[in-house]
Structure 1
Protein backbone atom coordinates (compact mmCIF):
# COMPACT_ATOMS: atom_id res chain seq x y z
CA UNK A 1 0.00 0.00 0.00
CA UNK A 2 1.27 3.43 -0.85
CA UNK A 3 0.56 5.01 2.56
CA UNK A 4 2.27 2.27 4.62
CA UNK A 5 5.21 3.60 6.64
CA UNK A 6 7.49 1.33 8.65
CA UNK A 7 8.00 2.38 12.26
CA UNK A 8 11.47 3.96 12.57
CA UNK A 9 12.45 1.62 15.42
CA UNK A 10 11.66 -1.46 13.31
CA UNK A 11 13.63 0.04 10.46
CA UNK A 12 16.58 0.81 12.74
CA UNK A 13 16.66 -2.60 14.46
CA UNK A 14 16.14 -4.85 11.43
CA UNK A 15 17.08 -5.27 7.79
CA UNK A 16 14.73 -6.18 4.95
CA UNK A 17 14.95 -9.72 3.59
CA UNK A 18 12.04 -9.73 1.15
CA UNK A 19 8.43 -8.80 0.65
CA UNK A 20 5.88 -11.55 0.91
CA UNK A 21 2.28 -11.09 -0.24
CA UNK A 22 1.16 -9.09 2.80
CA UNK A 23 4.24 -8.61 4.95
CA UNK A 24 7.75 -7.36 4.87
CA UNK A 25 10.06 -10.10 6.13
CA UNK A 26 12.89 -8.47 8.12
CA UNK A 27 15.88 -9.84 10.02
CA UNK A 28 16.44 -8.47 13.52
CA UNK A 29 19.98 -7.23 14.09
CA UNK A 30 20.70 -9.54 17.03
CA UNK A 31 22.78 -12.57 16.14
CA UNK A 32 22.19 -14.32 19.46
CA UNK A 33 18.96 -15.68 18.01
CA UNK A 34 18.05 -15.98 14.34
CA UNK A 35 15.04 -13.70 14.61
CA UNK A 36 12.80 -12.38 11.88
CA UNK A 37 9.83 -10.05 11.84
CA UNK A 38 6.72 -10.07 9.72
CA UNK A 39 5.31 -6.57 9.30
CA UNK A 40 1.96 -6.38 7.48
CA UNK A 41 2.12 -3.51 5.01
CA UNK A 42 -1.09 -1.92 6.16
CA UNK A 43 -1.23 1.56 7.68
CA UNK A 44 -2.46 2.17 11.21
CA UNK A 45 -2.67 -1.46 12.34
CA UNK A 46 -1.79 -2.05 16.01
CA UNK A 47 -3.70 -5.26 16.71
CA UNK A 48 -4.37 -8.38 14.67
CA UNK A 49 -8.14 -7.94 15.03
CA UNK A 50 -7.86 -4.57 13.23
CA UNK A 51 -6.84 -6.43 10.08
CA UNK A 52 -9.39 -7.67 7.56
CA UNK A 53 -10.24 -11.38 7.70
CA UNK A 54 -8.35 -11.89 4.43
CA UNK A 55 -5.25 -10.14 5.82
CA UNK A 56 -5.48 -12.23 9.00
CA UNK A 57 -5.54 -15.37 6.84
CA UNK A 58 -2.56 -14.16 4.80
CA UNK A 59 -0.66 -13.37 8.01
CA UNK A 60 -1.30 -16.90 9.28
CA UNK A 61 -0.05 -18.38 6.01
CA UNK A 62 3.03 -16.15 5.88
CA UNK A 63 3.80 -16.89 9.55
CA UNK A 64 3.76 -20.61 8.85
CA UNK A 65 6.04 -20.42 5.82
CA UNK A 66 8.47 -18.00 7.51
CA UNK A 67 8.61 -20.08 10.71
CA UNK A 68 9.21 -23.27 8.72
CA UNK A 69 11.99 -21.54 6.75
CA UNK A 70 13.68 -20.24 9.94
CA UNK A 71 13.57 -23.74 11.44
CA UNK A 72 14.99 -25.27 8.27
CA UNK A 73 17.69 -22.59 7.94
CA UNK A 74 18.84 -22.96 11.55
CA UNK A 75 18.04 -26.51 12.61
CA UNK A 76 16.73 -25.03 15.85
CA UNK A 77 14.79 -27.09 18.38
CA UNK A 78 11.89 -24.64 18.84
CA UNK A 79 10.31 -21.66 17.10
CA UNK A 80 8.84 -18.87 19.23
CA UNK A 81 6.18 -16.65 17.64
CA UNK A 82 4.93 -13.55 19.38
CA UNK A 83 3.27 -10.20 18.90
CA UNK A 84 3.78 -7.88 21.86
CA UNK A 85 3.76 -4.30 20.63
CA UNK A 86 4.37 -2.73 24.02
CA UNK A 87 7.25 -0.60 22.74
CA UNK A 88 6.44 -0.46 19.01
CA UNK A 89 2.70 -0.12 18.48
CA UNK A 90 2.78 -0.89 14.75
CA UNK A 91 1.67 -4.51 14.39
CA UNK A 92 4.58 -6.86 13.78
CA UNK A 93 5.12 -10.52 14.51
CA UNK A 94 8.36 -11.98 15.87
CA UNK A 95 9.58 -15.41 14.73
CA UNK A 96 12.58 -16.54 16.78
CA UNK A 97 14.74 -19.67 16.53
CA UNK A 98 15.42 -21.13 19.99
CA UNK A 99 17.61 -23.90 21.32
CA UNK A 100 18.06 -25.38 24.76
CA UNK A 101 21.03 -23.64 26.32
CA UNK A 102 20.79 -20.42 24.29
CA UNK A 103 21.44 -17.17 26.16
CA UNK A 104 17.88 -16.81 27.43
CA UNK A 105 16.60 -20.43 27.45
CA UNK A 106 13.96 -21.24 28.56
CA UNK A 107 12.82 -17.67 29.17
CA UNK A 108 11.83 -15.05 26.62
CA UNK A 109 14.46 -13.22 24.59
CA UNK A 110 13.04 -9.75 25.27
CA UNK A 111 15.07 -7.72 27.71
CA UNK A 112 17.78 -10.37 27.99
CA UNK A 113 21.20 -8.75 27.71
CA UNK A 114 22.41 -6.47 24.97
CA UNK A 115 21.90 -7.25 21.27
CA UNK A 116 24.91 -8.63 19.41
CA UNK A 117 24.79 -7.27 15.86
CA UNK A 118 25.30 -9.68 12.98
CA UNK A 119 28.61 -9.50 11.17
CA UNK A 120 28.09 -8.76 7.49
CA UNK A 121 29.23 -12.25 6.45
CA UNK A 122 27.10 -14.07 9.05
CA UNK A 123 24.03 -11.99 8.13
CA UNK A 124 24.57 -12.70 4.44
CA UNK A 125 25.03 -16.44 5.06
CA UNK A 126 21.92 -16.69 7.22
CA UNK A 127 19.84 -14.63 4.80
CA UNK A 128 20.91 -16.89 1.94
CA UNK A 129 19.92 -20.02 3.90
CA UNK A 130 16.60 -18.41 4.82
CA UNK A 131 15.81 -17.40 1.24
CA UNK A 132 16.72 -20.89 0.03
CA UNK A 133 14.37 -22.40 2.61
CA UNK A 134 11.58 -20.07 1.54
Structure 2
Protein backbone atom coordinates (compact mmCIF):
# COMPACT_ATOMS: atom_id res chain seq x y z
CA UNK A 1 0.00 0.00 0.00
CA UNK A 2 1.26 3.45 -0.86
CA UNK A 3 2.31 5.81 1.93
CA UNK A 4 0.51 8.64 0.12
CA UNK A 5 -2.94 9.72 1.23
CA UNK A 6 -5.72 7.89 -0.60
CA UNK A 7 -6.98 9.66 -3.71
CA UNK A 8 -9.53 8.96 -6.40
CA UNK A 9 -8.51 9.08 -10.02
CA UNK A 10 -10.29 11.90 -11.89
CA UNK A 11 -12.44 9.41 -13.84
CA UNK A 12 -13.96 8.16 -10.56
CA UNK A 13 -14.34 11.57 -8.96
CA UNK A 14 -16.23 12.89 -12.00
CA UNK A 15 -20.04 12.68 -11.92
CA UNK A 16 -20.13 11.11 -8.46
CA UNK A 17 -20.68 12.36 -4.93
CA UNK A 18 -19.42 10.80 -1.72
CA UNK A 19 -22.10 9.06 0.33
CA UNK A 20 -19.96 7.78 3.19
CA UNK A 21 -16.88 5.82 4.14
CA UNK A 22 -17.09 2.23 5.27
CA UNK A 23 -14.23 0.36 6.90
CA UNK A 24 -12.50 -0.34 3.57
CA UNK A 25 -14.35 1.56 0.86
CA UNK A 26 -15.55 5.01 0.11
CA UNK A 27 -19.10 4.79 -1.27
CA UNK A 28 -19.96 7.14 -4.13
CA UNK A 29 -23.35 7.88 -5.64
CA UNK A 30 -23.22 7.72 -9.42
CA UNK A 31 -24.97 10.81 -10.78
CA UNK A 32 -27.47 8.93 -12.94
CA UNK A 33 -31.02 9.05 -11.62
CA UNK A 34 -32.04 6.23 -13.96
CA UNK A 35 -30.81 3.59 -11.49
CA UNK A 36 -30.03 3.33 -7.78
CA UNK A 37 -26.26 3.13 -8.32
CA UNK A 38 -23.28 3.35 -6.02
CA UNK A 39 -19.60 2.78 -6.65
CA UNK A 40 -17.34 1.33 -3.95
CA UNK A 41 -13.66 2.26 -4.03
CA UNK A 42 -11.23 0.60 -1.60
CA UNK A 43 -9.33 3.39 0.15
CA UNK A 44 -5.89 2.18 -0.92
CA UNK A 45 -3.81 3.59 -3.74
CA UNK A 46 -2.42 1.63 -6.66
CA UNK A 47 -5.08 -1.09 -6.78
CA UNK A 48 -6.30 -2.37 -10.14
CA UNK A 49 -7.78 -5.77 -9.35
CA UNK A 50 -9.55 -7.36 -6.39
CA UNK A 51 -6.66 -9.81 -6.04
CA UNK A 52 -4.36 -6.81 -5.40
CA UNK A 53 -6.02 -6.53 -1.97
CA UNK A 54 -4.79 -8.62 0.95
CA UNK A 55 -7.00 -11.64 1.66
CA UNK A 56 -8.59 -10.01 4.74
CA UNK A 57 -9.36 -6.92 2.66
CA UNK A 58 -10.82 -9.08 -0.14
CA UNK A 59 -13.24 -10.55 2.40
CA UNK A 60 -14.05 -7.11 3.78
CA UNK A 61 -14.70 -5.86 0.25
CA UNK A 62 -17.20 -8.68 -0.32
CA UNK A 63 -18.89 -7.82 2.97
CA UNK A 64 -19.21 -4.17 1.92
CA UNK A 65 -20.48 -5.09 -1.57
CA UNK A 66 -23.12 -7.32 0.04
CA UNK A 67 -24.11 -4.56 2.48
CA UNK A 68 -24.57 -2.04 -0.34
CA UNK A 69 -26.48 -4.54 -2.47
CA UNK A 70 -28.86 -5.43 0.35
CA UNK A 71 -29.47 -1.82 1.35
CA UNK A 72 -30.15 -0.65 -2.22
CA UNK A 73 -32.50 -3.63 -2.64
CA UNK A 74 -34.37 -2.70 0.56
CA UNK A 75 -34.56 1.01 -0.25
CA UNK A 76 -35.46 0.98 -3.95
CA UNK A 77 -36.91 -2.51 -4.61
CA UNK A 78 -35.19 -3.22 -7.95
CA UNK A 79 -35.88 -6.50 -9.72
CA UNK A 80 -32.18 -7.39 -9.97
CA UNK A 81 -28.95 -6.19 -8.41
CA UNK A 82 -25.94 -5.90 -10.71
CA UNK A 83 -22.39 -5.91 -9.31
CA UNK A 84 -19.42 -5.28 -11.59
CA UNK A 85 -15.72 -4.46 -11.40
CA UNK A 86 -14.97 -3.73 -15.04
CA UNK A 87 -12.33 -1.00 -14.97
CA UNK A 88 -11.84 -0.52 -18.71
CA UNK A 89 -12.24 3.27 -18.61
CA UNK A 90 -10.66 3.82 -15.19
CA UNK A 91 -7.94 1.46 -13.97
CA UNK A 92 -8.42 2.24 -10.25
CA UNK A 93 -10.20 -0.66 -8.54
CA UNK A 94 -13.88 0.19 -8.11
CA UNK A 95 -17.05 -1.84 -7.92
CA UNK A 96 -20.41 -0.78 -9.33
CA UNK A 97 -23.50 -1.84 -7.37
CA UNK A 98 -26.74 -0.91 -9.08
CA UNK A 99 -30.35 -1.89 -9.12
CA UNK A 100 -32.08 -2.85 -12.35
CA UNK A 101 -35.81 -2.81 -12.93
CA UNK A 102 -37.40 -4.91 -15.63
CA UNK A 103 -38.25 -2.52 -18.44
CA UNK A 104 -35.69 0.16 -17.46
CA UNK A 105 -34.10 2.10 -20.33
CA UNK A 106 -31.34 -0.46 -20.86
CA UNK A 107 -33.21 -3.65 -19.92
CA UNK A 108 -32.18 -6.41 -20.42
CA UNK A 109 -28.81 -5.25 -21.74
CA UNK A 110 -25.93 -3.69 -19.84
CA UNK A 111 -26.25 -0.09 -18.66
CA UNK A 112 -22.81 1.00 -19.87
CA UNK A 113 -23.17 3.02 -23.06
CA UNK A 114 -26.88 2.22 -23.41
CA UNK A 115 -27.92 5.87 -23.07
CA UNK A 116 -26.62 9.15 -21.64
CA UNK A 117 -26.86 9.54 -17.86
CA UNK A 118 -29.79 11.49 -16.46
CA UNK A 119 -28.22 13.56 -13.64
CA UNK A 120 -30.10 14.09 -10.39
CA UNK A 121 -31.43 17.52 -9.57
CA UNK A 122 -29.60 18.85 -6.50
CA UNK A 123 -32.48 18.28 -4.06
CA UNK A 124 -33.08 14.69 -5.14
CA UNK A 125 -29.33 13.96 -5.16
CA UNK A 126 -28.97 15.24 -1.58
CA UNK A 127 -31.98 13.15 -0.51
CA UNK A 128 -30.60 10.01 -2.19
CA UNK A 129 -27.19 10.49 -0.54
CA UNK A 130 -28.81 10.82 2.90
CA UNK A 131 -31.06 7.78 2.36
CA UNK A 132 -28.18 5.57 1.36
CA UNK A 133 -25.86 6.92 4.05
CA UNK A 134 -28.45 6.30 6.77
CA UNK A 135 -29.09 2.77 5.45
CA UNK A 136 -25.38 1.92 5.38
CA UNK A 137 -24.30 3.52 8.63
CA UNK A 138 -27.49 3.15 10.66
Per the TM superposition, whether the score is higher than 0.5 is yes
What is the distance in 2 between the residues matched to 1:127 and 1:77? 21
Q: TM-score, normalised by structure 2?
A: 0.92
Equivalent in 109, 122, 127 of residue 107 of structure 1: 109
Check the 8 A contact 2:19/2:130 in 1, yes or no: no
Question: What corresponds to 1:88 in structure 2?
Answer: 90
Unaligned runs of 5+ in 1: none
What is the distance in 1 between the residues matched to 2:16 and 2:129? 12
Encode CA deviations 1:40-93: one digit per residue, 9 max, x unaligned: 011100001111001101100000111111111111111100000001000000
Question: What corresponds to 2:51 in structure 1?
Answer: 49
Equivalent in 14, 18, 21 of residue 16 of structure 1: 18
Aligned-CA RMSD value: 1.2
Check the 8 A contact 1:72/1:133 in 2, yes or no: no
What is the distance in 2 between the residues matched to 1:121 and 1:85? 30
Point out 4+ residue stretches in structure 1 off by more than 3 angstroms. Answer: none
Report the number of matched residues.
Answer: 134
3-state secondary structure, aligned to 1:61: helix
> Which stretch of structure 1 is more off in the superposition, 48-57 or 2-11?
2-11
Q: TM-score, normalised by structure 1?
A: 0.95
